[in-house]
Structure 1
Amino acid sequence: MMHMQNSGVMGRFYVIADWVYKFSFANIIWMVCNIPIIFILVNLLLADEIAVILVLFGMMLLLSPFMFFPSTVALFAIVNQFIQKEDVKLLSDFWGYYRRNYKKSMKIGVIFTIFWTVLIIDFFYMMRLGNVIMQYVFIVLGFFAFVYNLHVCSGAIYIDAKMRDLFKQVAVIMFGHPILSMSLGLISLTFLYLITQWLTFLLPLFLGSILVFLALLVFMKIHPSSLKLEKH
């Protein structure tokens, strides 16, 4: 009886340890792929001259479609394999998905990078003008865009469609399930706040992988019914 109890406890411990290992290793691979962007971001946060900030910000934006988005979509694919309980060879599977879907991920990155650039510039412009109402408008728009961004990255591994159709289907999914989508946004932002402000030691291990996990759980719940809704 005691042996069975120990076996059960050890079994649960092994499962937890295995998930911690997979999530942390996947996150490390993702961060390694983004070392240049991380380096620029750190310097951007430390910069105090406008000219330096603009140069670093521009460099980060230029690199994002070619590094951040392909690696992030690959991370979505790997974490999805975790959820599906598939056998995963972390490094080779990550690299394989990264390489095979680089062009598609890069296109997604270009679209979102342009959008976020315009949004951020407009926000700071309104801040400079002192237009508080428009600042809040852009904050709300940014929140919706953040959720949409997460859904698109999830959809990139579930929906086999051209870019326009992918974005259209994801819009149907998001606005067809506003409560779940907005809940994802709030939970994700709460997680980002906690890990960047209070649990910074976990940043290299779980920043991306846990956020991706949350996004996929929501997307898997709403995706099938949303496609049925679209067909009707």
Structure 2
Amino acid sequence: MQMTGFMGSFYRISEWIMRLAIINLLWILFTLVGLVVFGVVPATIALFTVIRKWLLKEPDIPIFKTFVNAFKKDFIKGNLLGLILGALAYIIYIDYQYLLIIENPIFYSILFVGLVFISIAYSVLLFNIFPVYVHFDIKFMQHIKYAILIGIMNLHITISMFGCLYLVYLLNIYIPGIIPFFSVSLAGFVCMFFGNLAFKRLEAKQQKILEKEAIARQA
């Protein structure tokens, strides 16, 4: 029998806390299995894969098996994705270092404004790429395009995501004891939750377009 009321809410919250703690520990374990550098992105993809299934009302999936299968399946692609994200971050870092030695104020201002926009786009990419990667069955490089476009097209959702991620950051700063259990999994939950909201809006828009096209063909 399904519990309702206060006890039902308490049970569901407790269940989510336990789930997030488990996958955070799995993320740490498999990041170490991949010698950190080669494990962090595949482990993150695996974490998002599990969270996505939970949010899509698949609560009874075997957590360990699902995590391991996703980790192995996307190990090579995940590391390629990590290489791309790392290279982009390094380029932005080098540009900021170059900015420090520019003496021409006009050129400095132009480059600074450009770098601010590039940094914002990169942040949008970074926090949307994993929800997009585990949700859409598309070509590899299209994930990057989708992550940026979906984030920009749903700015209110993206801003809300950033706000919640900042709260997660503050929790980790002021309650460091939660870091081994919730640091990555809670941030992943936030990204996947808001990612799903953006995906539903996109699907609703596509459905409206299809309905209009169907009506136009019948006219």
- Please give the residue correspondences for 1:37-186 in structure 2 after superposition, counting only pairs within 5 Å: 63=37, 66-86=38-58, 87-127=60-100, 138=115, 141-186=118-163
Amino acid at match of 1:81: K
- 1:50-102 CA-to-partner distances (Å, cap 9, x unmatched) read xxxxxxxxxx7xx2xx2211111111011112222311222221011111122
Q: Is the 8 A contact 2:30 2:39 kept in 1?
A: yes
Q: Is the 8 A contact 2:157 2:197 kept in 1?
A: no
More helix by share: 1
Runs of 5+ consecutive residues of structure 2 not aligned to the other structure:
210-219
Amino acid at match of 1:123: Y
Q: Partners in 2 of 1:223 and 1:24 — Cα distance? A: 26
Aligned residues: 201
Q: Identical aligned pairs, as a percentage?
A: 18
Runs of 5+ consecutive residues of structure 1 not aligned to the other structure:
1-5, 39-59
Q: Partners in 1 of 2:203 and 2:148 — Cα distance? A: 11
Q: 1:167, CA displacement in angstroms?
A: 2.1
Q: Is the 8 A contact 1:172 1:226 kept in 2?
A: no
Amino acid at match of 1:198: Y
Q: TM-score, normalised by structure 2?
A: 0.77
In structure 2, the partner of 1:208 is 184
Q: 1:230, CA displacement in angstroms?
A: 7.7
Runs of 4+ with deviation above 6 angstroms? none
Q: Partners in 1 of 2:30 and 2:197 — Cα distance? A: 29
- Match of 2:137, SS state, is coil
Q: TM-score, normalised by structure 1?
A: 0.73
The CA RMSD measured in Å over matched residues stands at 3.0
Q: Partners in 1 of 2:206 and 2:96 — Cα distance? A: 33
- Match of 1:34, SS state, is helix
Q: 1:220, CA displacement in angstroms?
A: 0.9
Q: Partners in 1 of 2:68 and 2:34 — Cα distance? A: 19
Q: Is the 8 A contact 1:147 1:185 kept in 2?
A: no
